[in-house]
């Protein structure tokens, strides 16, 4: 089995045993649509401690140059662990319905 | 005929014979929990491990569920992993059996058949392995200790064959075979090792150059196809079992195919069965043949995959057939073997009287006289027709 694109079109072409040979391909599956609550950051309070990044179970805290940038809303499931763990309480969980599709 | 190797004759029980096979195979990992009547297999093997006669990582786990889980993990890491069990132990592994076959891991399970509780019985019958017949494991039934030894070696080649990549269960009747001593022809160690060969895992979690993810969640869009692959592998296993058997025959002179007939060709009535009772049935056949009765025996070695075509061809034209089940399949038309034989005949448009006998439950011995009675029933039925073909219970106090 190589590290190559899997052909899932037919039982004769797909890898056996449900083995996934493409590392990290779970990123292709967008779980953001499961969210009922969305994390929102008050950047005045954020100290860029990275604790939300450490705790996020879905690797959905985007970081650049050791600074918080955004949440990956295509994958964030709204579990609220980041808000719970944030030391300065900079993160609020807001009803997803408050946001329009475009935002 | 000269054979390539000179075998070593030893007096061994069926359990000890399989333990010898395991020693020669020298699996990377054996994870097992003891249970009667297969205990002696793993007990003997653990001695080999303790004495340094094998390189095996021997895991004395806390339960059979752990044993199969450990084997799955080891096999997924590219190791040759074997285990040993019976009865409740096999039943305890049940959910993991499907994991092993679904992940296409060539684990080998060496079993000694035993009744399933409750009520509790330690004695031999086929309920345990029959409970696993839909799990995607290849199942080979041995008639005696020699076949158990042979099957244990061939199981590795069958499981690891690239067209198969399925776990294999090779079994012997509890007590009748596991605890009876016979003359066993062992292969010399180097010949056994050459035959078994080295394991080439298809994939491994420890291969960091080709990283994989195993045991993933699968949506309705894909699971059906993945299980279809398992069905394909089972079909391929029919050819592989036959070809590995042929290769083994060149080595040892002993032939092991999918089925074996005894006085079958010109028989008018036939008994179909699995395992040790075939030995008793040969005695019954011989005594009836001596009286000129045209009786015969069809022994099935590979129960999964079931050799549908071979069974149908073997039984075509017979006047009556008895399918002997050493297990109940409660609420069904008959026992597990009966169901498969019936379907094999029907699929091939063969309509002959097929009667089901359930026998041997809880270790009740099937005596030659009992089997002679079955042949008489078949003869009488073939002559006069059948008033009823419901399940019959051999030697049951009704």
**Tens-digit pLDDT profile for residues B192-208:** 999 999 999 999 999 99
The confidence band for B385, taking pLDDT boundaries of 50, 70 and 90, is: confident
Q: List, edge to edge, every strand of the sheet that includes B81-85.
A: B57-60, B29-32, B81-85, B108-113, B168-173, B138-141, B302-304
- Is B214 within 8 Å of A19 when comparing Cβ atoms? yes
Q: What would the mean pLDDT of B17-38 be, rounded to a whole number?
A: 98
Please report the number of interchain residue pairs, chain A to chain B, with beta-carbon separation below 8 angstroms: 57
CA atoms within 13 A on the CB side of B154: 33
Residues of B in contact with A16 (CB under 8 A): 104, 165, 202, 226, 229, 233
pLDDT tens, position by position, A43-68: 999 999 999 999 999 999 999 999 99
- Is B222 within 8 Å of A3 when comparing Cβ atoms? no
Q: What would the mean pLDDT of B86-107 be, rounded to a whole number?
A: 98
The confidence band for A23, taking pLDDT boundaries of 50, 70 and 90, is: confident
Q: Bigger pLDDT: A25 or B114?
A: B114
In this prediction, residue A1 carries a pLDDT of 44
In this prediction, residue B386 carries a pLDDT of 79
Residues of A in contact with B159 (CB under 8 A): none
Smallest CA–CA separation between A60 and chain B, in Å? 20
CA atoms within 13 A on the CB side of B347: 14
Q: Are A101 and A35 in contact (CB under 8 A)?
A: no
In this prediction, residue B389 carries a pLDDT of 72
Q: What would the mean pLDDT of B140-144 be, rounded to a whole number?
A: 98
Q: What would the mean pLDDT of B59-85 be, rounded to a whole number?
A: 98
Q: What would the mean pLDDT of B284-303 be, rounded to a whole number?
A: 98
Share the mean pLDDT of chain B: 96
Smallest CA–CA separation between A92 and chain B, in Å? 31
The verdict on A29 touching B (C-beta cutoff 8 Å) is no
In this prediction, residue B319 carries a pLDDT of 96
Percent of chain B residues past pLDDT 70, beyond the cut: 99
Of A19-28, B42-51, B60-69, B132-141, least confident by mean pLDDT is A19-28
In this prediction, residue B1 carries a pLDDT of 58
Residues of B in contact with A18 (CB under 8 A): 102-103, 214-216, 218, 222-223, 226
Rounded to two decimals, what is the model's pTM?
Answer: 0.93
Smallest CA–CA separation between A11 and chain B, in Å? 5
In this prediction, residue B170 carries a pLDDT of 98
- Is A17 within 8 Å of B232 when comparing Cβ atoms? no
In this prediction, residue A62 carries a pLDDT of 97
d(CA B334, CA B190): 45
In this prediction, residue A3 carries a pLDDT of 56
The confidence band for B388, taking pLDDT boundaries of 50, 70 and 90, is: confident
Smallest CA–CA separation between A10 and chain B, in Å? 7
Over 70: is that where the pLDDT of A103 sits? Answer: no
Collect all residues from B whose CB is shorter than 8 A from any CB in A: 102-105, 165, 202-203, 210-216, 218, 222-223, 225-226, 228-229, 232-233
- Give the residue on B whose Cα is nearest the Cα of A14: B226
- Is B212 within 8 Å of A14 when comparing Cβ atoms? no
The confidence band for B387, taking pLDDT boundaries of 50, 70 and 90, is: confident
**How would you classify residue B299: left for phi > 0, otherwise alpha for psi between -120 and 50, otherwise beta?**
beta
């Amino acid at each position: 089995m190589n590290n190559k694109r899997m052909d899932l079109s037919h039982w004769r072409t797909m890898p056996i045993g449900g083995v996934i040979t493409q590392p990290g391909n779970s990123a292709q599956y967008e779980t953001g649509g499961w969210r009922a609550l969305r994390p929102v950051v008050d950047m005045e309070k954020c100290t860029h401690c990275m604790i939300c990044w450490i705790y996020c179970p879905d690797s959905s805290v985007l970081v650049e140059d050791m600074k918080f940038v955004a949440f990956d809303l295509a994958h964030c499931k709204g579990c609220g662990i980041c808000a719970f763990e944030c030391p300065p309480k900079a993160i609020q969980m807001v009803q997803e319905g408050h946001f329009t599709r475009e935002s | 005929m000269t054979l390539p190797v000179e075998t070593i004759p030893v007096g061994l029980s069926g359990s000890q014979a399989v333990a010898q096979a395991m020693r020669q195979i020298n699996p990377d990992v054996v994870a097992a929990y003891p249970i009667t009547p297969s205990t002696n297999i793993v007990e003997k093997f653990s001695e080999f491990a303790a004495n340094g006669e094998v390189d095996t990582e021997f895991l004395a786990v806390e339960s059979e569920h752990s044993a199969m889980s450990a084997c799955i993990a080891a096999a997924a890491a590219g190791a040759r992993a074997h285990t040993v069990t019976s009865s409740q132990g096999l039943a305890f592994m049940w959910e993991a059996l499907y994991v092993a076959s679904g992940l296409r891991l060539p684990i080998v399970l060496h079993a000694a058949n035993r009744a399933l509780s409750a009520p509790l019985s330690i004695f031999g019958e086929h309920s345990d392995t029959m409970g696993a017949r839909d799990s995607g494991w290849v199942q080979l039934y041995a008639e005696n200790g020699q076949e158990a030894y042979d099957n244990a070696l061939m199981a590795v080649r069958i499981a690891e064959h690239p067209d198969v990549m399925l776990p294999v269960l090779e079994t012997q009747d509890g007590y009748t075979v596991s605890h009876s001593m016979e003359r066993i022809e062992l292969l010399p160690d180097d010949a056994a090792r050459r035959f078994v060969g080295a394991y080439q895992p298809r994939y491994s979690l420890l291969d960091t150059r080709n990283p994989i993810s195993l045991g993933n969640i699968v949506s309705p869009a894909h699971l059906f196809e993945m299980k279809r692959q398992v069905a394909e592998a089972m079909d391929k296993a029919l050819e592989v079992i036959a070809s590995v058997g042929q290769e083994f025959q060149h080595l040892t002179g002993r032939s092991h195919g999918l089925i074996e007939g005894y006085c079958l060709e010109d028989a008018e009535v036939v008994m179909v069965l699995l395992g040790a009772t075939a030995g008793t049935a040969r005695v019954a056949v011989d005594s009836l043949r001596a009286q000129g009765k045209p009786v015969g025996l069809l022994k099935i070695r590979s129960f999964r995959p079931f050799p549908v075509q071979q069974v149908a061809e073997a039984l075509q034209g017979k006047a009556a057939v008895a399918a002997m089940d050493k297990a109940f399949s409660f609420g069904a038309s008959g026992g597990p073997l009966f169901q498969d034989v019936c379907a094999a005949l029907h699929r091939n448009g063969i309509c002959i009287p097929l009667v089901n006998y359930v026998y041997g439950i809880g270790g009740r011995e099937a005596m030659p006289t009992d089997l002679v009675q079955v042949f008489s029933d078949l003869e009488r039925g073939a002559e006069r027709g059948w008033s009823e073909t419901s399940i019959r219970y051999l030697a049951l106090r009704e």
